[in-house]
A and B are shown apart, each in its own frame.
Chain A
Amino acid sequence: MTPALQRRLPLLTTGAIFAVLFAAATLLYDGFFSARVAVNLFTDNAALGLTAIGMTLVIFAGGIDLSVGAVAGFTSIFVATLIEKHHVHPTVAALAALAVGGTLGAGMGALIHWFRLPAFLITLAGMFLMRGCAFWVSTESIGIAHPLYERLSNCVLELGRFSLPLVALVLIAGLFGGGILAHYTRFGRNLLAIGGSEQSALLMGLPLGATKVGVYMVNSLCATAAGLVGTLYTGSGNPSTGIGLELDAIAVVVIGGTVLTGGRGHMLGTLFGLLIFGTIQSALLFDGRLSPWWSRIVVGLLLLAFILLQRLLLRRLNRR
Chain B
Amino acid sequence: MAYERLQRTLDQVKPSQAQEETILEALLAEPVRQKKSPRRYAAVAAVAAMLLVTCTVAVALGLPVLFAHFGGGAGYAQSSMFVGKSVISDGWTMTLTDCVGDDRRLYLGFAVEAPEGTVLDEEYTPLEYIVEFSSGKRCSASYWTELEDGDPADNKMRLALWMEYIQYEPGEPGLLGETMTLRLEGFGAYVDVEPLDSGKVREVRLSDGVWDFGALDLSLIDRTIRMEPNVPVAVSGLPAVVTYLEVSPTGVNVWLEGEGLRDHEALFPWGSCINAPEIVVYDKAGNAIDQGEPPFGKRGGSGCDSDPEPPELPYINVVQTYENLLDMENLDHVDVCGVTFPLGE
Whether both chains belong to one complex is answered with no
Chain B positions near chain A (C-beta within 8 angstroms): none
A residues touching B (Cβ–Cβ < 8 Å)? none
